[in-house]
């Protein structure tokens, strides 16, 4: 039996649901344009979480240990930033913006420096102008400082501690970081294969393991989106008018799994009877 | 080919883990940013409606008439400058009565109220309402559309309409003895501003105007800093037409 169509329907429903979740939260949130940074940063981070999830869910070829941990790490990183900002939204949202503008200015200076050795073409000039104007619109480049530290001036671990999500850091962010940073404990397991030849002293050679798509990563993705929405709801006193999309999604996945299991059991019984 | 690449941001000073631009490390803590959209525009936007209806020359006359009337009626200290809307919050009932009794039946006052009427109906809590005799009606769609049109022109801090209201403000500040200029200041050729941005002289004046407005709007001597006007202005504007999400996707 092929259940891919049913899975696709569940995924599509979930995707529509989280799009609505974002819309309804933004639209119902009372804005204060005297502190736009708070709303833009929080809204932007939520949109980022949803857009990563939506894109990840459309691409089953990356639901595996090679790529999915990179995406999961990004989702968790985004959540920790979000949770830390939510503790003091105005001040921290500004910090987040100013750091980003500083980084953009740094990149701009690198590009300008690169162009010192040749006459920039029209496209390069336009790019420089557009970047400069993008920064100036928010803060004059001549007033923009460049930070050489983390944007929050804290380690991610400290941010997670302060935002009451240290478990997420220890058990999720850290392990997924090994994949994102291509560290030995990921590479050795996923990109090398050990020789079983006694002549090779357990030597390893490069390998690319083929993994089937793993639904578990979908559940994780939905979980990290859900964490963000729940924290937003708590901090802004938003009361959802419907069940959380994560609940619906996991219930539907469970029903599908049950169906597949029952089908397999039935087939097994039939085979036994035939024998 | 010779490599001309040099160290980037070499004019910045490293303080701890930060590279500070020259402006910030040369004047530590002295330079206050005054965002045009939040601090400047709400204070002087009303002149955009005057300029739009009567042109800059007549607008200056009307504005100066109002400013002189307020000064005569209130005997307030020289600094408070009533080109800035927030300052109207500081006027008490007695002062308002005195001002209104002087303004009543005056042609300039009539012109002023006609010009700012759509603006006040859209922003009924604007402190300028204090100098209006009549109750503020509900805004109409036409009022809102007109206010949006004027605001649209004033959002650009280097635009012509913005430059003209800055010119009104700075000119009036000088006429009221609040801003003094040196004899070599480009302010003396202020008339040229009407040609902005087509002449070099007008561009110089526009730069002078943009630079001159900032020290005013962040200083309590000139603008009442505890005012809620700017906050009210932008939040009211947002509430009129919220930026809701209908469609998440953009190409």
Q: Chain A window 180-199: which residues touch B at a Cβ cutoff of 8 Å?
A: none
| pLDDT one-digit tens code per residue, B11-69 | 888 888 888 888 777 776 666 566 899 999 999 999 999 999 999 999 999 999 999 99
- Shortest distance, CA A27 to any CA of chain B (angstroms): 5
| The most confident of B1-10, B110-119, B171-180, by mean pLDDT | B110-119
pLDDT above 80 for B184: no
Question: B83 lies in a domain?
Answer: yes
Check B5 against A114: CB less than 8 A apart. Answer: yes
pLDDT band for position B142 (cuts 50, 70, 90): very high
Count of residues in chain B = 251
The answer to whether residue B23 is domain-embedded is no
Most A CBs within 10 A among B19, B39, B251, hence the mutation to make, goes to B19
Distance CA A145, CA B28 (A): 13
- The whole-angstrom distance between B225's CA and the closest CA on chain A is 14
Q: Which residues on neighbouring strands pair with residue A206, listed in sequence order?
A: A192
> Do the strands B18-20 and A146-147 form a parallel or antiparallel pair, or are they unpaired?
antiparallel
Say if CB A57 and CB A13 are below 8 A apart: no
Q: Following CA atoms A257, A260, A262, A265 in sequence, which dihedral angle do they give, to the nearest 10 degrees?
A: -130
For residue B70, being part of any structural domain is answered with: yes
* Residue B1 pLDDT greater than 50, yes or no: no
Tell me the pLDDT tens digit for each residue of A51-94.
999 999 999 999 999 999 999 999 999 999 999 999 999 999 99
pLDDT of residue B15: 86
B108 located within any domain: yes
Interchain contact, A142 vs B21, CB within 8 Å: yes
pLDDT at B2: 47
What is the average per-residue pLDDT within A95-115?
Answer: 92
Residues B184-199, mean pLDDT to the nearest whole number: 87
Q: Is the pLDDT score of B4 beyond 80?
A: no
- Reference B127, options B61, B222, B42, B187; nearest CA is B42
pLDDT band at B200 (very low <50, low <70, confident <90, very high): very high
> How many domains is chain B partitioned into structurally?
1
User: Rounded CA gap, B144 and B147, in Å?
Assistant: 5
Specify the pLDDT at position B78: 66
The predicted-structure confidence for A124-156, as pLDDT tens digits, reads as follows: 999 999 999 999 888 878 888 888 889 999 999
Question: Is residue B27 in a domain?
Answer: no
| pLDDT in the model for residue B234 | 97
> What pairing do the DSSP bridges indicate for beta strands A146-147 and A204-206?
unpaired
Q: What's the pTM?
A: 0.90
Pairing of strands A192-194, A146-147: unpaired
How many beta-carbon contacts under 8 Å exist across A and B?
78
Mean pLDDT, to the nearest integer, of B141-160?
Answer: 96
pLDDT of amino acid A226: 98
Yes or no, beta carbons of B33 and A139 under 8 Å apart: yes
Which residue in the block uniquely carries the two structure tokens 């923009």?
Answer: A144
**How high is the pLDDT of residue A33?**
95
Give residue B190's pLDDT: 85
The tokens of B113 are what? 């109220």
B20 within some domain:
no
Mean pLDDT of chain A: 95
Nearest-by-CA chain B residue for A31: B235
Distances (CA, A) of A79 to A47, A163, A166: 12, 10, 12
pLDDT at residue B182, rounded to an integer: 81
Question: 């040609």: which residue's tokens?
Answer: B195
Q: What is the pLDDT of residue A51?
A: 98
Name the percent of chain B lying above pLDDT 70. Answer: 94
Q: What is the 3-state secondary structure (H, E, C) of A145-203?
A: CEECCCCCCCCHHHHHHHCCCHHHHHHHHHHHHHHHCCCHHHHHHHCEEECCCHHHCCC
User: Which residue range(s) make up the domain with B152?
Assistant: 44-233
Is the residue at B33 inside a domain? no
Report the alpha-carbon distance of residue A217 to residue A194 in Å, rounded: 27
d(Cα A101, Cα B31) in Å, to the nearest integer?
A: 19
Q: Which residues pair with B15 in a beta bridge?
A: B18
Tokens 């030597």 correspond to A203
Q: Is residue B241 part of a domain?
A: no
Residue B183 has pLDDT above 90, yes or no: no
Distance CA(B210)–CA(B212), nearest Å, equals 6
B76: pLDDT strictly greater than 80: no
Taking each helix axis from N to C end, the angle separating A4-28 and A245-274, rounded to the nearest 10 degrees, works out to 170
Q: Which of A192-201, A229-238, B11-20, B137-146 has the lowest mean pLDDT?
A: B11-20
């Amino acid at each position: 039996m092929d259940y891919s169509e049913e899975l696709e329907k569940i995924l599509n429903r979930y995707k529509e649901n989280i799009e609505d979740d974002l819309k309804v939260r933004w639209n119902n949130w009372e804005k204060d344009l005297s502190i736009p940074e708070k709303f833009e940063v929080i809204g932007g981070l939520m949109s980022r979480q949803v857009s990563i999830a939506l894109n990840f869910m459309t691409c089953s070829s990356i639901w595996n240990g090679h790529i999915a941990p990179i995406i999961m790490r990004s989702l968790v990183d985004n959540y920790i930033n979000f949770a830390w900002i939510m503790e003091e939204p105005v001040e921290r949202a500004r910090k987040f913006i100013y750091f980003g503008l500083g980084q953009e200015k740094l990149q701009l200076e690198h590009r300008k420096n690169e162009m010192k050795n040749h006459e920039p073409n029209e496209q390069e000039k336009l790019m420089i102008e557009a970047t400069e104007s993008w920064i100036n619109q928010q803060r004059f480049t001549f007033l923009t400082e460049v930070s050489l530290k983390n944007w929050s001036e804290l380690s991610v671990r400290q941010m997670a501690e302060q935002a009451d999500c240290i478990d997420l850091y220890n058990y999720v962010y850290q392990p997924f970081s090994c994949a994102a940073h291509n560290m030995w404990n990921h590479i050795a397991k996923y990109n090398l294969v050990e020789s079983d030849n006694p002549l090779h002293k357990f030597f390893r050679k490069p390998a690319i393991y083929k993994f089937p798509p793993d639904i578990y990563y979908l559940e994780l993705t939905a979980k990290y989106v859900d964490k963000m929405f729940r924290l937003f709801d708590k901090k802004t006193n938003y009361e959802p008018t419907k069940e959380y999309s994560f609940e619906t999604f996991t219930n539907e996945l469970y029903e599908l799994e049950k169906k597949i299991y029952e089908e397999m059991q039935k087939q097994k019984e039939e085979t036994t009877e035939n024998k | 080919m010779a490599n001309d690449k040099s160290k980037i941001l070499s004019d910045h000073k490293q303080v701890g883990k930060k590279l500070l631009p020259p402006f910030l490390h040369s004047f530590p803590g002295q330079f206050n940013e005054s965002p045009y959209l939040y601090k400047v525009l709400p204070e002087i936007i009303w002149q955009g409606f005057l300029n739009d209806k009567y042109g800059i020359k007549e607008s200056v006359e009307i504005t100066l008439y109002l400013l002189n009337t307020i000064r005569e009626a209130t005997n307030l200290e020289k600094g408070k400058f009533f080109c800035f809307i927030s300052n109207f919050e500081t006027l008490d009932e007695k002062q308002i009565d005195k001002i209104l009794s002087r303004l009543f039946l005056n042609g300039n006052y009539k012109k002023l109220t006609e010009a700012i009427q759509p603006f006040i109906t859209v922003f009924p809590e604007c402190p300028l309402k204090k100098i209006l005799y009549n109750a503020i009606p509900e805004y109409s769609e036409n009022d809102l559309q007109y206010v949006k049109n004027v605001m649209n022109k004033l959002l650009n801090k280097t635009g012509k309409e913005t430059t003209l209201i800055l010119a009104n403000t700075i000119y009036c500040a000088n006429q009221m003895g609040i801003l003094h200029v040196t004899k070599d200041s480009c302010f003396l050729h202020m008339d040229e501003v009407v040609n902005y941005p087509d002449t070099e002289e007008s561009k110089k004046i526009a730069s002078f105007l943009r630079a001159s407005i900032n020290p005013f709007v962040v200083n309590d001597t000139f603008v009442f800093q505890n005012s809620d006007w700017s906050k009210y202005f932008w939040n009211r504007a947002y509430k009129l037409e919220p930026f809701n999400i209908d469609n998440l996707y953009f190409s």
